[in-house]
Structure 1
Amino acid sequence: MSGRDASIETIQRELTAFARRARHKASQLHPELSLVMYSMLDLLTERGGCRAADLAAYFMLDKSTVSRQVRDLEQLGYAAREVDPEDHRGQILRPTEAGLALLREANEMRRAAFTERFADWSDQDMAKLAEYLVRYGESE
């Protein structure tokens, strides 16, 4: 196996492990909140609200999957629908105060976990990892 192929194998394995750990951590934050639901709530907060179709497109999910996740977020009291002011036939999903509070708490917990995990990394190594993650994310 070439060096590049070995690197791809390692990257694939490590990103898969990273995703599994992220799902596990999400379940620790709130037992009823999946990583997908948490990610949707985070995007709603980042964008100040959006349509369900926007969530489906962003996360590359089927609309029925998004519909179920959004319904669960609403039932838990973390998201609410509002009439779209630009198109009164449509609805905008927004995080509720409870949803925002949950995200703040989750972000504090995640930040503490990352701070601990990277405690022995240099600032330069942290900057490189951040740069590589952004580059990887932009390459799609």
Structure 2
Amino acid sequence: MQHSGFTPVVRTAAAAEIVHELVLVSRRGVADVRSFDARVSLAEQSILLHIAINPGCRSTDIAAEFALNRSTVSRQLGDLIRLGLVVEVGDSPGRGRPLELSDEGWKHYNAAIRSLQVGVDTRLADWTDADVGAFADALARFNRATATPPQEPAQPLSPHLTDTEVKE
């Protein structure tokens, strides 16, 4: 769908198309991660990524970042620690010890990222550098935005509807 000259109807349809495409990207990402290492779930891969980017973070930081219950994060961290991918560092007493990837965790993380990068590079092979840069900028902007519910929920739409099929 090519978008120019936005109207509220066109914008709503474009937003619905974005939701549809994000669902497809998420499904593909889940499948790609599962094919990489069945021992580690997508949620655990996400935790590994967070720890890699934020060494020294604590389980409470991860729970807040992903809006998860602390017990869920504890269980997943326990699995990652048992697999030897994450270690608690420092000697602070009690829960909430700083976390880092172990050497094995870094190997796993780097291999997973390389695998996912190959998939992205393959899909972007015929894109121009400008298109890739614009896409990266748009995704970064989207991910920085604060998710607040709209005052009036938008009607969920199929991205395959034409403008004349959309009710205002």
* Other-structure match for 2:5: none
Asked if 1:109 is matched to 2:97, the reply is no
Q: 1:126 Cα deviation (Å)? A: 0.5
Q: Distance in 1 between matches of 2:75 and 2:31?
A: 20
Preserved contact between residue 85 and residue 103 of structure 2 (Cα < 8 Å)? yes
Name the larger-Rg structure: 2
- Secondary structure of the 1:94 match is strand
Match of 2:35 among 28, 31, 37: 28
Give the drift of 1:119.
0.3
* Residues 103-112 or 122-131, more deviating: 103-112
CA distance in 2, matches of 1:49, 1:100: 14
Query: How far apart are 1:83 and its partner, in Å?
Result: 3.3
Name the SS of the counterpart of 2:89 in structure 1: strand
Residue 21 of structure 2 aligns with which residue?
14
SS at match of 2:87: strand
How far apart are the structure 1 equivalents of 2:73 and 2:93?
21
Percent of residue pairs identical: 31
Quote the Cα distance in structure 2 between the aligned partners of 1:132 and 1:121: 15
Long gaps (5+) in structure 1: none
Equivalent position SS for 2:47: helix
TM-score, structure 2 length as denominator?
Answer: 0.77
1:131 to 130, 137, 142: 137
Give the CA deviation at 1:102.
0.5
Query: How far 1:117 sits from its partner (Å)?
Result: 1.0
2:105 maps to which of 99, 104, 111: 99
The equivalent residue for 1:55 is 62
* Matching of residue 83 in structure 1 with residue 90 in structure 2: yes
Q: Structure 2, unaligned stretches of length 5 or more?
A: 1-7, 147-168
Work out the CA distance in 2 between the residues paired with 1:48 and 1:8.
35
Whose relative contact order is higher, 1 or 2, with alpha carbons under 8 Å and at least 6 apart? 2
After superposition, the C-alpha distances for 1:49-70 in whole angstroms (9 at most, x for unaligned) are 3110000011111111111110
Equivalent-residue separation in structure 1 for 2:15 and 2:81 (angstroms): 40
Asked if 1 retains the 8 angstrom alpha-carbon contact of 2:52 and 2:101, the reply is yes
Q: Which of 56, 65, 70 does residue 72 from structure 2 map onto?
A: 65
CA RMSD, 1 decimal:
1.5
Contact 1:49 1:95 in 2 (8 A): no
